[in-house]
Amino acid sequence: MKALKFINKFRIILLLLIMFGFSAGSEAIGKSDDYAAARKNMVLYQIRHRGITNPDVLNAMESVFRHEFVPEAYKKKAYEDRPLPIGYGQTISQPYIVALMTRLLNVDKGSRVLEIGTGSGYQAAVLARIVKEVYTIEIVKPLHDCSNKLLKTLGYQNIQTLNADGYFGWSAHAPFDAIIVTCASDFIPPPLIDQLSPGGLMCIPVGPPFKVQHLVLIKKGKKGELSTKVITSVRFVPLTRKQSRKEE
Ligand code: SAH
């Protein structure tokens, strides 16, 4: 009799959990996730089928709600195979490029990572699912404010944001195990090289603004020696050196 009562209680609790959205490990706990199928398809067809199989990267891409990071008007397009506008002339990168750069950094749960170009905060959120600490810098104040607020609302406690020119890195928290630059530069900013740990990796699009650039992976050897590898062609918004005044 006691056992029966217990089973009934258990069934009620299970039913309540299902009714109110039991989304352990995913974002927006308690909210319904209308995009779960779209996100699964994105991971399978855009990322896994293109050769990225690292479980940490796939799990992170599947658990971050990309639709929370795009403007209302683009939510339905959030899982498409392309970048999307986020205002102020900037874009959130194509999901595959986010996964590729994350994979290239070869980070794990002990890593401390610096990102230049917070934008929507999406790349930072993906990294935060894998690493110990993410430091991210955004030059456009309204974008910084918006992504900072969103990341806090979503409960990310291992991401620190800064509104500044990322060219100079973030010396107070250096050195970093990995550095990811999500805006294109004609050359690799020397302060970022200085702030990379020996043995660390940096991923950066190098090339002219608004033209085809090269995604470059830089490794700093144990004695500080650098080696570079061109990964693929990309098109990123430029790394700017002054606060953008253009508003949308
Ligand atoms: N990682 C972003 C993509 C951002 S697009 C995401 O996941 O959404 C590139 C961003 O770099 C833009 O928001 C742009 O404002 C920013 N940026 C450009 N130059 C910068 C600089 N010198 N320092 C910091 N951020 C910069």
> Nearest residue CA, atom 14 of ligand 1?
117
Cα separation values, 75 from 61, 66, 198, Å? 16, 8, 40
Q: Determine the residue type at 139.
A: I
Are 147 and 161 within 8 A, CB to CB? Answer: yes
* Segment 97-116 mean pLDDT: 98
* Segment 6-26 mean pLDDT: 46
Q: Mind spelling out the 3-state secondary structure of 130-170? A: CCCEEEEEECCHHHHHHHHHHHHHCCCCCEEEEECCHHHCC
Q: What is the pLDDT of residue 242?
A: 72
Rounded to the nearest angstrom, the gap between the alpha carbon of residue 213 and the centroid of all alpha carbons in its chain is 20
Percent of the chain with pLDDT over 90: 83
pLDDT in tens, 226-237: 999 999 999 999
* Residue 248 pLDDT exceeds 70: no
* Residue 220 pLDDT exceeds 70: yes
> Nearest residue CA, atom 19 of ligand 1?
239
Are 192 and 116 within 8 A, CB to CB? Answer: yes
Q: What b-and-e string marks burial along 56-95, b requiring 16 or more CB atoms within 10 Å of the CB?
A: ebbebbbbbbbbbbbeeeebeebbeeebbebbbebbbbbb
pLDDT in tens, 124-147: 999 999 999 999 999 999 999 999
Catalytic pick among 23, 26, 63, 93: 93
Residue showing tokens 């470059």: 216
The residues near 43 (Cβ < 8 Å, ≥ 6 apart) are 58, 61, 62
* Segment 203-216 mean pLDDT: 96
Please tell me the total number of residues recorded for the chain in this structure. 248
- For residue 142, whether the previous peptide bond is cis, meaning omega lies within 30 degrees of 0, is no
Are 146 and 168 within 8 A, CB to CB? Answer: no
Ligand 1 touching residue 125 (CB < 6 A): no
Which domains, and CATH codes, for the chain? 95-234 (3.40.50.150)
* Segment 169-193 mean pLDDT: 98
pTM: 0.88
Residue 233 annotated as catalytic = no
Number of neighbouring beta carbons within 10 Å of residue 189: 21
Ligand 1 touching residue 159 (CB < 6 A): no
Q: What is the pLDDT of residue 121?
A: 98
